[in-house]
Amino acid sequence: MPKKIMNLPEDCVSEAMEGFLAANKDYVQVEGASAIRVRNLKDKPAMIVGGGSGHEPMFGYFVGENLADASVAGSVFTSPDPGSILQAAQAVDRGKGILFVYGNYSGDNMNFDIAGEMLGDMDIPVKTVRVWDDVASASKENYLDRRGIAGNVLVIKITGAATASGLDLEEAYRVACKARDNVYSIGVGLSGATIPGEDKPIFTLADDEMEYGLGIHGEPGVRRVKLQTADEIVEELVEKILEDSGIQAGDTVCTLVNGLGATPLLELYVMNRKLARLLQEKGIQVHDMDVGTYVTSLEMAGASVTILKLDDELKNYYDMPCRSPYYKKG
């Protein structure tokens, strides 16, 4: 069995939350058994994020100033239940409505929808933004079937700013949808992750292999290929994103190179070096570049590239300062 630092596997999520809260009590407080929220709620539409555990720091560690107001965690790679989502929403509702933002997965879709229906019965308005940025997971024509991966970071960043800027629920929802519809990601995996309590990884690869276009729950990639150099990997990822998105010379973007859990910053910055050169060669203006480990799949080795096309409105919200335990801007 792969070695992990843990007590009982079934206690990993609750014990991690307890430790996180102990280290960040100035930012957040617990709400029920599986949710955290900001300590100082503002009079605005509330943004709630969430999903299965195992993707840390996404989602819970993005609760903070001008970011998410609350996050609900499920078990590892499992959606939070509707009751916990409802409880979190009631705790942060200030009469301005609730905006759900989360990755596009069937379990999350079902449970957040159920919670939304219960909130509607209480006359609490709800809007939902499902992030579907993974261009490898479905065709452009079937974009509603695409998975949400590291693009969640940029959508949450912009949506948090929009809800904190005095916009009402409808306008904040419009901005969030615009961000979601202009963000594109794709990644590669070099090794699989092992769920706590399991005796082997979700998938295994030979030493000279990698998976191209995989998800963050151990889903297989669209194809298995021989291990490539960093430059070759980034060239292929960027080519796919630009082909799918239509981003071209003269456009302005921000980017994210995201590690999947076991990839050192050294390797992520090697990738970012090539990303910066490619975009410059193609005449694409880069407003900001971010590199870090934000959306993980436990200890999976690999990385993804995300590109968000900006207009003046999105740029304004992207630039707004924000502060949370694991994500800060400005």
Residues involved in catalysis: 55, 217
Strands 126-131 and 98-103: parallel
Q: What's the one-letter identity of residue 297?
A: S
Angstrom distance (rounded) from CA 305 to CA 289: 11
**Cα Rg, the chain, nearest whole Å:** 19
Candidates 153, 154, 176; CA nearest to 164 is: 176
Q: Is there a contact between 241 and 184 (Cβ–Cβ < 8 Å)?
A: yes
The residue to which tokens 């998975």 are assigned: 147
Angstrom distance (rounded) from CA 175 to CA 161: 10
Q: Kindly tell me the burial class for residue 226, based on how many C-beta atoms sit within 10 Å of its own C-beta (0-12, 13-18, 19 or more).
A: exposed
The structure tokens listed for 137 are: 């997971």
Q: What's the one-letter identity of residue 161?
A: A
The structure tokens listed for 135 are: 């261009």
Q: Who contacts 318 (Cβ-Cβ below 8 Å, separation ≥6)?
A: 154, 157, 158, 161, 254, 287, 288, 308, 310, 329
Q: What's the one-letter identity of residue 109?
A: N
Q: Phi, psi (5° rounding) for residue 183?
A: -115, 140
Taking the CA atoms of residue 25, residue 78, residue 118 and residue 100 in that order, the dihedral angle to the nearest 10 degrees is 60
The structure tokens listed for 17 are: 């939350």
Angstrom distance (rounded) from CA 194 to CA 216: 12
Sign of CA pseudo-dihedral 149, 272, 310, 182: negative
